Amino acid sequence: MKTRCVRLLLVGAALVCTAANLAAKSNTDNGGYYTARDKEYYLSADEVFFIRPGLEMEILDFEIPSDLQPLVTFSLKDPGGLALDVNGVTTPGEVDVRFMLTYIPQGEENKVSYHPRSDFFRDRNGAVTALGNGVYTYKFNTVLPADYDADATHTLTGVARRDLRDYDLDRYVANVPYHFIPSGSGEPMPRDVVRTATCNNCHNPLAMHGGRYQDVNVCTQCHLPANFDAEENESYSFNVMIHRVHAEAHFPVEINDCEVCHTGGTPTEAFPLVASPNPVPVCDDSRKGMTTLTWSDAGSVEVRVGAADGPLFAASNGAGSQDTGKWVREGTRFYLRDRDSGDTLQKLLVNTTVLGCETNAPGQFRGEAARDHTHWLDHPSRLVCGSCHSDIDFEAGVGHAPQSNDDNCGLCHAPESEVEYDRTVRGAHLPVYKSAQLPGVRFRFIDIVDTAPGQFPTVTFAVGTKYGPINPASLNRLRLTITGPNEDFSFRVQESVGTKAKPAGDNWTYTFETAIPADAEGSYTVSVEGRDNIDVMLHHDEVSTERDPIEATLLAFAVTDATAEPRRMVVDDYNCESCHRNLSEHGNNRRNANYCNTCHRPEFVAVREPAQSVHFKYMIHSIHMGAERANPYVVIRSRGVFDFSDIHFPGDLRDCETCHVNDSYELPLPDGLLATITPQELLPETPPITAACVSCHQSDAARTHALAQTTFFGESCTACHGEGKAFDVEKVHAR
C-alpha cells in the first residue's frame, strides 16, 4: 500500500506531519499518514492547507451548576491541533454537535437517560458559545431533577460531525464518551459488555443513522431499556435490538456463537481466572500443548493443578500471568484459591484441539475484551434471551415454563459446567465446532515426489487427532487434489484415499492414479479435504452425528520449475475469519478460503439454467456486493436456488483490504491469468481484470466500458487504472 505524509506550512511554522483524522471517519488511527485508500491522499498541499480535513473533539470540562442545566466545555480541532469553526465560516465544513447524558442508578446495571424518548434521548436546543481557539461551551436545555444522584456513575457523550462533501471528501465523525461521578466519590463503573473494536471486525466501521454514531458507548445512550415502543410492543434497548438484528439478518456466524461479540480471553470479576488459548492447540503426537494463565486482582491467591490441593503452579499478591509450558493435556483443571481462607475462587477446565495447527483457528477472540465481557454468562433474563428465542412467551408459558420475572433464570441456567449442551448458558450456546467431544483431524503434508510431466505423484503425509496418530482409512472422507499450474488453476484431479494409503514409518503415502499432464509446466499444488463423523452427546442423552473436518492445507510442488512457486496469495483466510469465524463450506467439508480456489476455478460454471459463473473471485465479489449489485447474483444447483440479492455487506465495500492482502487488487495483474467463463456477461469468456471488476460493477455503462477497452490483443485497463495512473484502483475505491 502506498503511503505519504503531507506537511502543512502555517504562518511560517511547519505543522507536525499529519493527515485527516481517520479515527473520526473510520475508527482507526492512521498514525499521521494518508494511505492510497484515503481520499485525502489525493489532495494537493494547497487543498490540504485550505480544507484541513478531519475532526477531533475533546471534552475538557463538565459541570452541573445551580440551575441544574449542565455545561460542557469542549474543543473542536483538526488533526494538527488547529481550531475549527463550529459554524463552518472561518474553516470549511459546519460541525454539528450533539450531547447525551445518562446515569446508572446505584445497585443497578442499566442506563437511565435524563432526556425523554420524544427527544430521542438527547439534549435539544442547547446553546453553543465560542470561547476562542476552537474551544466552546454547550449549555444544556435539559434541567436535571433536584434530587439527581451525584454519587451515581454518569456518562456524557459528545457527537460531532463535520461535513466536507462539498470538497469531494466525507463527513468526519467524532464520538467522545466521558464517564464520571458528579460528587467525585469513587471510580465510575460504566456498563461495559461489548466494545466498538469488536463490532468493527465486521462493520468497518460501525456507523449508524447516517454514519454519525460510531461508538457503542454512544449507541447505548439512546438504545436503553426505556426505548420501548408500546404500540408495537417492541424494545429498542441495545442488548435486545442487537441480538434480534443479528438473529434475523444474514449473520455470517453461527448465531449461538456468543463470544463472537462478547469477546473474551481476559479475567473478569465473575471469572477471575482464564487460560488463553483454551482449548490448547496440540500439533504433534505428544498430546500436549501450552497455554497462558491470567488472573485478576483477587488478593493473595494461588493457582493449583489437578485439584484444589494439587501441585502449586503459581502464587501472587494481586493480578498475575504465567505460561504453562508444553505439558497441558485434555481435561487439565486449574484452581484459583484464596491463600488466606483456602476457598476456591474458580475452577477452570482446559481442553485441547487440533484447530489452528495448519491454518487459522476458527473462533479466535478478535477485537477488544470489555471489562464485563462474561456478562452474557451470568445475567440471563427474559428480555435478552427472548430477543433471540422469539418463539417463547415467558408470561404465558409458551415454549418455556411460565416466568413472571427474572428471579429464577439463574437457578436453571447457571453460567457453565463441565458438561456440554446442558442447561447452562455456555452449554446451551456451544457451537459444535467448539465441542471438546470432537477429536479433530490434523493433516500435514510431509513430501511429494515423482512430479515431472507424465509422472504419477506420491504424497507422504501425517494424519492424527488430538489424541495421537490414526489410520487414514478410519476417516469417513479423505481426498487429495492436484491443481495447476499455479499461475492460474486450469487442471484439477481429486482422488479418494480410502484404504489405498500405505504406511511409511510414522507417516503414510498415497500415489495418485492420475498422472501429471504431459504438457504441464511450472509448479502445481496438492491439497487435502476430509472429515470424520463423530457422535456428539447432546442434552438428555440425545446423540447427534457431526462432521469433524480437516483444516484444508495446500503444498506447492515443482513440475518443471527449479523450485516450487506457490500460487499468489490474493486473500488471507485470517481476514475471512474476522467476520465468518468458522468459514467451512459444502457441508462442513472445506475449511480454508485458499483451498476454495482449487475447485472454484475460472472455467467453473453452475450449469443449471440460467448458468452462472462460480469462479472464486467473480462469485465472492458478487455475493458480498449482494443487494448493491445491479443484477442479482443467483446460483442454481441441484440442492436448490441460491439468491444472494438480499445480502447486505456489513463493512465498507470500497475497502478492498477487508479481504485482500499484498495489494493483490492493484493493476497490472500477473501474467498467465485465465479468462472467466461468464454465461451472464457481455462476453462468454471475460478477461481476468474485467471479470473481477464487473462482478461488482454491474451497470450497463460499467460493463460496456470494460468491453470497449478490450481488443483481440487483450485488456487495456492498466493504462488508466494501473498503479499511479489517473484512475488507480486504490484511488477510485478511496474513502
The DSSP annotation for 114-158 comes to: SS-GGGTTS--S-EEEEEETTEEEEE-S----TT--TTSEEEEEE
Residue 340 has pLDDT above 60, yes or no: yes
Alpha carbons 38 and 79: distance in angstroms, whole number: 15
Q: How many CB atoms lie within 10 A of CB 84?
A: 26
Stretch 425-447: mean pLDDT, rounded? 96
User: Which domains, and CATH codes, for the chain?
Assistant: 54-191 (2.60.40.60), 267-353 (2.60.40), 442-593 (2.60.40.1930), 600-732 (no CATH)
Q: Please, are residues 312 and 304 in contact by the beta-carbon 8 Å criterion?
A: yes
Task: Tell me what pLDDT residue 9 has.
Answer: 31
Task: Tell me what pLDDT residue 87 has.
Answer: 97
515-556: pLDDT as tens digits? 999 999 999 999 999 999 999 999 888 999 999 999 999 999
Contacts of 592 (CB under 8 A, 6+ apart): 359, 360, 551, 552, 553, 554, 573
Alpha carbons 211 and 568: distance in angstroms, whole number: 36
Task: Tell me what pLDDT residue 644 has.
Answer: 96
Give the long-range contacts of residues 88-94, CB within 8 A, separation 24 or more.
91/52, 92/50, 92/51, 92/52, 92/164, 92/166, 92/167, 93/51, 93/162, 93/163, 93/164, 93/166, 93/167, 93/172, 94/162, 94/163
Q: Please, are residues 340 and 299 in contact by the beta-carbon 8 Å criterion?
A: yes
Dihedral angle over CA of 114, 118, 122, 128, nearest 10:
-110
Q: Please, are residues 580 and 573 in contact by the beta-carbon 8 Å criterion?
A: no
- By CB atoms closer than 10 A (0-12, 13-18, 19+), residue 500 is middle
Q: Please, are residues 137 and 73 in contact by the beta-carbon 8 Å criterion?
A: yes
Confidence tier at 23 by pLDDT (50, 70, 90): very low
Stretch 704-715: mean pLDDT, rounded? 94
Stretch 606-633: mean pLDDT, rounded? 96
Q: What is the pTM of this model?
A: 0.91
Stretch 97-108: mean pLDDT, rounded? 97
Stretch 414-440: mean pLDDT, rounded? 96
Q: What is the Cα Rg of the chain in Å?
A: 29
Q: Please, are residues 39 and 168 in contact by the beta-carbon 8 Å criterion?
A: yes
For strand 352-353 and strand 280-281, is the pairing parallel, antiparallel, or unpaired? parallel
